[in-house]
């Protein structure tokens, strides 16, 4: 194995200090987008219904558009000819599978029962959030934290496959079977089709992934790698954050009434979510360091383990239990907590970057 140089630390200051103005004040823009979405949802009667009506097969087209714009620039940056080096990293691949599909759902199940044992609808919704592993927004959190883009693309693709295959099975296990085994009462039936999950994966990951891959192939062929990366990529880079902010505005406009009408219930749901994100992110980050992963892959492991696919969780909760159900409210509160928390963890990641050695083992 060879020693590969890690991403260089900027001279004359911290990584955070070298961020662009747009990136440095990302938390401010995101909080403003959340507030704008909530305000629009409350101020314009019927806006949430109008946005919700623009969908195909249960997939919100405004959210799909925002995520496409958000993910496309990041996926166009991926060097797809380097993916073999990621798939050969057994430590990363095995750790991600265990964290996402064994530990993550179990942690959320436990926290849901500990904090919401007296609120079965919210508890069920929270468990659904834990089953929906992240395949979209994690790409931009990882990129902002200077994680490994190629590793993120591989892990997100892996999660998407497992999501189609395992979501329904894990829903049956955690909502119907396990509560009965543990004597916690009668379980809940989760009615979700493999086709709906596959459509969710195709829209929220497949379309931007194909667009990014084709852009890289055509761009390098016409411009060469150096001109493509130094001239073209910087021109489309800011659109990732524009897409993120648009998605947040639409999401919170869709759910503004629901969130603001039940603040105490939102607070009850928020507590286990905060604990979940802290346990999953810091635990995964510590695991990455313990098994000797470099900074960029440690960050990738942490964000892919901590993030959740809130689009799928909300869609499943609404389809199964109804738009006004407590289960749907739990799904809505997921991004309300996840977005600012993971933005904060981007800054934590960058602040800790200096603690890693300047070299790592590569394939």
| Contact between 327 and 317 (Cβ < 8 Å) | yes
With a CB cutoff of 8 Å and minimum separation 6, the contacts of 288 are 95, 297, 298, 299, 301, 302
Output the average pLDDT for the chain.
Answer: 82
**Residue pLDDT, tens place only, 327-344:** 888 888 888 888 889 989
**pLDDT attached to residue 361:** 42
Residues 8, 11, 13, CA angle at the centre, nearest 5°? 115
**Residue pLDDT, tens place only, 265-287:** 889 999 999 999 999 999 999 99
pLDDT band at 47 (very low <50, low <70, confident <90, very high): confident
pLDDT band at 69 (very low <50, low <70, confident <90, very high): confident
**Over residues 150-160, mean pLDDT:** 88
> Of 33, 341, 37, 70, whose CA–CA distance to 204 is shortest?
70
**pLDDT attached to residue 112:** 95
> Of 348, 306, 346, whose CA–CA distance to 26 is shortest?
346
pLDDT at 13 over 70: no
Q: With left for phi above 0 and alpha for psi between -120 and 50, is residue 9 left, alpha or beta?
A: beta
Q: How far apart are the first and last CA of the chain?
A: 6
Percent of the residues in the chain that have a pLDDT greater than 70, as a whole number: 85
Q: Which range (48-52, 151-155, 315-319) has the least confidence?
A: 48-52
Cβ neighbourhood burial of 340 (10 Å; 0-12, 13-18, 19+): middle
pLDDT band at 313 (very low <50, low <70, confident <90, very high): confident
| Contact between 212 and 199 (Cβ < 8 Å) | no
pLDDT at 123 over 90: yes
Query: Fold for domain 16-353?
Result: Na+/H+ antiporter like fold (1.20.1530)
With a CB cutoff of 8 Å and minimum separation 6, the contacts of 18 are 10
Cβ neighbourhood burial of 95 (10 Å; 0-12, 13-18, 19+): buried
Looking at mean pLDDT, say which of 12-26, 101-115, 132-146, 241-255 comes out highest. 101-115
SS (HEC) of 66-132: HHHHHHHHHHHHCCHHHHHHHHCCHHHHHHHHHHHHHHHHHHHHHHHHHHCCCCHHHHHHHHHHHHC
| Contact between 132 and 97 (Cβ < 8 Å) | no
The residue extents of the domains of the chain are 16-353
């Amino acid at each position: 194995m060879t020693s590969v140089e890690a991403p260089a630390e900027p001279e004359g200051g911290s990584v955070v200090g070298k961020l662009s103005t747009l990136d440095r004040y990302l938390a401010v823009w995101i909080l403003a987008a959340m507030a704008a979405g909530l305000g629009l949802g409350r101020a314009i009667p019927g806006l949430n219904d109008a946005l919700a009506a623009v969908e195909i097969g249960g997939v919100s087209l405004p959210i799909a558009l925002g995520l496409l714009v958000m993910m496309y620039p990041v996926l166009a940056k991926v060097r797809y000819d380097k993916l073999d080096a990621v798939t050969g990293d057994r430590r990363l691949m095995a750790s991600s599978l265990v964290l996402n599909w064994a530990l993550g759902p179990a942690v959320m199940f436990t926290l849901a029962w500990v904090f919401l044992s007296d609120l079965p609808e919210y508890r069920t919704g929270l468990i659904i959030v834990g089953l929906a592993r992240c395949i979209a927004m994690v790409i931009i959190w990882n990129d902002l934290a200077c994680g490994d883009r190629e590793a993120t693309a591989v892990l997100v693709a892996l999660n998407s496959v497992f999501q189609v295959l395992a979501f329904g099975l894990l829903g049956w296990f955690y909502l119907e079977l396990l509560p009965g085994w543990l004597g916690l009462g009668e379980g809940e039936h989760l009615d979700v089709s493999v086709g709906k999950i596959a459509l969710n994966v195709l829209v929220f990951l497949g379309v931007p992934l194909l667009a990014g891959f084709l852009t890289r192939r055509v761009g390098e062929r016409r411009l060469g790698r150096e001109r493509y990366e130094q001239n073209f990529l910087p021109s489309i880079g800011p659109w990732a954050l524009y897409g993120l902010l648009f998605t947040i505005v639409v999401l919170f406009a869709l759910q503004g009434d629901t969130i603001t009408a039940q603040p105490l219930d939102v607070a009850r749901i928020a507590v286990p979510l905060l604990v979940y994100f802290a346990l999953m992110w810091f635990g995964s980050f510590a695991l990455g360091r313990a098994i000797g992963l470099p900074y960029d892959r440690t960050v990738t492991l942490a964000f892919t383990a901590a993030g959740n696919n809130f689009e799928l969780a909300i869609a499943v909760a609404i389809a199964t239990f109804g738009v006004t159900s407590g289960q749907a409210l739990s799904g809505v509160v997921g991004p309300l907590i996840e977005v600012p928390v993971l933005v904060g963890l981007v800054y934590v990641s960058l602040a800790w970057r200096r603690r890693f050695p300047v070299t790592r083992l590569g394939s």
